[in-house]
Structure 1
Amino acid sequence: MNYIHCLNNISTKGTNLLPDEYQLTDDVDQATGILVRSAKMHDMEFSDNLLAIARAGAGVNNIPLERCADEGIVVFNAPGANANAVKEITIAALLLGSRGIVEGIDWTRANADDPDIAKKAEKAKKQFAGREILGKKLGVIGLGAIGAKVANAAVDLGMDVYGYDPYVSVKAAWNISSAVHHVTDLVELCGTCDYLTIHVPAMPSTKGMINAEAVAAMQPGTVFLNFSRDTLVDEDAMADALAEGRVARYITDFATPTVMKMEHTLVLPHLGASTAEAEDNCAIMATNELMDYIDNGNITNSVNFPAVSAGVPAEGNGRIAVLHGNVPNMVGQITAILAEAGANIANMANASRGEAAYTLIDTDAPVDDGVRADLAAIEGVRRVRIIA
């Protein structure tokens, strides 16, 4: 029996996928796998039973990735499952940043008791006049699952779209409209566009990437949208630009003490992926990833181990999963132990990611626990599983 613990409320569209050999548990120490959304896990201790954690969402800054890798715990996320929800709210923010919609709503509410409100509204509306997005230049920073959808939607709305992403994958590139102009310099992009929106993951390398230089390059009247992470933007530089009027509006999904003091901001309470559909999609993807790894040893969309997939083990074959450090001669040591045990390798897949690596081996016949123990004794091996 495999036990799954949910640290947050997870959509039943995901948990209902669990077959009879899986059971939900309230005991986290009993869990084979954990499903999580936003719960903070950095201070948690993990039992030896835990094989994997699946984040029902994209960001994983609430999970101790390196410690999990060291302990042989694979961490998954659900990239793209909430992409449409974030795309839609980004398009809504474009319009909120262009027209005095929020200010107009505030005015009508403030004057709700005025019996002459209809007549006065005709005079008041001049102060809420805005501009249309048709024909305006939009810069999309990050062209992954979300950025590509935003770029394509903006093209369909008649915007002139520019994209910046030095790491865009071939798969993502196929999904981007040919009308999107490719820009290779971030500062150049910031100085070119009327609107800017950022869609990159929060990592040490992206922290503060919208820095003082990037903000200083922005055209007077720029509208900047942030539905990714607050840490991507240098808040002091943004505050100065807003006070000077160089940036006309900063619309962000992340309420921080600093941003709440800034002028000319619209701050949302992290609503980007808050739709029923996104929660369902994320839960389904996370649950499937968790089961495929536990049942078959396949890794898809992990953030701390490489992707390795070998399908379902063939009937009568054995399957061995070895999580280990990315060090020389590891595969040689693994195959030597199998050869000494008389196990014939039918198929083997190996990949590395930074300091972590993964080897998935199919043998002509199942191996015994003695082989598992010998493999686990190799220096640098973090976890060994006999799956079949």
Structure 2
Amino acid sequence: MRTISLMNTISDKGTAVFDETYTYAQNAENPDAIMVRSADLHNLDYTDNLKAIARAGAGVNNIDLDECTKRGIAVFNTPGANANAVKELVIAGLLLASRDLYHGMEWVNTQAGSETLAKDVEKQKKKYAGNEIAGKSLGVIGLGAIGSKLANTALHLDMNVLGYDPYLSVDSALKLSRWINHKKDLKSLLEEADFVSLHLPLLDSTRGMINKETIAQMKDGVKILNFARGGLVNDDDILEALDSGKVALYVTDFPDGKLAGHPHVIGLPHLGASSAESEENCAVQAAKELRSYLEEGSIINSVNLPNVSLELKTPYRLGVIHENKPKVLSRSSDIISANGANIENLLNKSRGDISYSIFDLEERPSDEAIAAIEAIPEVIRVNLFEKEA
């Protein structure tokens, strides 16, 4: 029986993916795997039994990836599962930034009980008229699952779409309309965009990327939308730009004390992926990733280990997580062979300094053989998988 610890409330559709060979509960003790949404796991008390963590969402800033990698714990996310929900909210953000709907609604709410509201509306509405988004230029920084959906949708709203992503994947590129104007450098996008929308992960290289220098490259009166991660924008620099009028409006799904209440900031309470459909999609995808790994050692959508997918056709499989160094594969093979087991299939993939090797076997390797592989200095973890009858 495998145990899954739920660190947040997880959609029933997600937990329904697990069959009778699994148990799951909130904060279960000594779990084989963890499912999490937003709970902070940086101070997690790791157990030797913990093999995997699945984040029901895209960002993994709440997980200590370095520590998990050192312990051979596979960390998964669910790219694309919440993409439509975030895309729709960004479209709403574009409309909020263009037409002053927010302040218009605020004014209407102050008129409760007014007998002259219909007449007063005609006088007041000019204050909130705003502009249309058709014909304006939208700069999308990051063309992954969400950014590509936004870019394509904005074209159908008659916007001129500029895209920038130096790490654009083949899959994402194939999904993009040919009418999107791909920029080779960020500066040229910033110089042309009326709206700038951020859709990239928070890394050391992207933290605070919207700052004095990059804001200075933008049009006067630009409007910035951040539905990716709060740390991408330097709060002090964006506030200075808002006060000067260089940036007309900042729409963010990650408000904080410095930004809340500013007249030119529209802050939303991190609603990007908070649709019922998105939560279900993320939970189902995360549960499937865990089952695939725990049952057959296939790694799909890992953020810290190589992605390896191979159907388990033999009775047994060894999954060896190890440093990407010479002779680990041959030494492991020698130990298995010396144990009298024949290797039917072998697959090895690397991701930076980490490698993952799969050995498919007809005979069960002895405990002594597994211990001998674990004793190889470069080996981090060995998992044994058995094909279910």
After TM superposition, the score normalised by the length of structure 2 is: 0.97
Residue 165 of structure 2 is matched in structure 1 by 165
More divergent stretch after superposition (376-385 vs 289-298): 376-385
List runs of 5+ in structure 1 lacking aligned partners.
none
CA contact (8 A) 1:348 1:360 kept: yes
Q: Which amino acid aligns with 2:234?
A: D
Report deviation, 1:362: 1.0
Aligned mate of 2:360, from 352, 362, 373: 362
Asked whether 1:94 is paired with 2:94, we answer: yes
Q: How does 1:322-361 map to 2 (within 5 A)?
A: 322-361=320-359
- Contact map agreement 2:305 2:351 (CA 8 A) in 1: yes
Q: Aligned-pair distance for 1:296? A: 0.4
Does 2:118 match 1:118? Answer: yes
The CA deviation string for residues 82-138 of structure 1, in whole angstroms up to 9 with x for no partner, is: 000000000010010000111110111112232111111101111111111111110
Q: Does residue 150 of structure 2 align to residue 150 of structure 1?
A: yes
Higher mean C-alpha deviation, range 26-35 or range 10-19? 26-35
Aligned-partner residue type, residue 44 of structure 1: L
SS in 2 for 1:107: helix
The residue type equivalent to 1:290 in the other structure is L
Return the letter of the residue paired with 1:121.
V
Aligned length: 386
1:122 alignment partner, SS class: helix
Q: Taking structure 1 as the reference length, what is the TM-score of the superposition?
A: 0.97
Distance in structure 1 (CA, Å) of the matches to 2:213 and 2:375: 51
Kindly state the Cα deviation for residue 49 of structure 1 after the two structures are TM-superposed.
1.2
Q: Write the mapping of 1:83-232 to structure 2, written as runs, cut at 5 A.
A: 83-232=83-232
Instruction: Give the Cα separation in 2 of the matches to 1:213 and 1:184.
Output: 18
Partners of 1:29 and 1:206 in 2: how far apart? 36
Q: CA deviation at 1:261?
A: 5.7
Partner SS, residue 29 of structure 1 = coil
Q: Whole-Å Cα distance in 2 between the matches of residues 344 and 168 of structure 1? A: 41
Unaligned runs of 5+ in 2: none
Task: After TM superposition, give the deviation of residue 187 of structure 1 in Å.
Answer: 1.8
Q: Which amino acid is 2:191 matched to?
A: G
For residue 326 of structure 1, report the CA deviation from its aligned partner: 1.9
Decide which moves more: 106-115 or 143-152.
106-115
CA deviation digits over 1:26-67, x for unaligned, max 9?
Answer: 453321111111111111111111111101111111111110
1:314 aligns with 2:319: no
Q: Contact conserved, 1:141 with 1:199, CA < 8 A, in 2?
A: yes
Task: Give secondary structure in 2 for the equivalent of 1:273.
Answer: coil
Q: 1: distance between equivalents of 2:262 and 2:378?
A: 49
What code does the residue aligned with 1:327 have?
A: K
CA distance in 2, matches of 1:159, 1:326: 47
Residues 128/27 of structure 1: CA separation in 2 closer, same or farther (3 Å cut): closer
Local SS of the residue matching 2:140: strand
Q: How far apart in 2 are the matches of 1:94 and 1:286?
A: 30
Paired residues of 1:243 and 1:263 also in contact (CA < 8 A)? no
- Of all paired residues, the percent bearing the same amino acid is 46
CA contact (8 A) 1:25 1:31 kept: no
CA distance in 2, matches of 1:182, 1:334: 47
Q: Equivalents in 2 of 1:341, 1:175: separation in Å?
A: 49
Inter-partner Cα distance in structure 2 for 1:261 and 1:276: 28
In 1: Cα distance, 2:185 partner to 2:235 partner: 21
Give yes or no for contact 1:194–1:222 (8 Å, CA) kept in 2. Answer: yes
Which AA in structure 1 matches 2:132? E
One-letter code aligned to 1:306: P
Matched-pair contact (CA < 8 Å) for 1:239–1:263: no
Amino acid at match of 2:143: L
Relative to 1, partners in 2 of residues 1:183 and 1:28: Cα closer, same or farther, differing over 3 Å? same
**Structure 1 residues 141-150 or 227-236, which shifts more?**
227-236
Deviation at 1:314, TM superposition (A): 1.3
Match of 2:40, as an amino acid? K
Quick one: distance in 2 between partners of 1:158 and 1:332? 58
What is the CA distance between 1:343 and its match in structure 2? 2.5
**Matched residue type, 2:382:** V
| Separation of aligned partners in 1, 2:243 and 2:326 | 55
- Contact map agreement 2:6 2:27 (CA 8 A) in 1: no
Residue 289 (1) aligns with residue 308 (2): no
1:299: Cα distance to partner?
0.3
Q: SS at 2:260's partner residue?
A: helix
1:153 is aligned with what amino acid? T
- Letter of the 1:219 counterpart: K
Aligned counterparts of 2:53 and 2:306: Cα–Cα separation in 1: 15
Deviations 1:169-204 (CA, angstroms, capped at 9, x unpaired): 001100111111110111221111111100001111
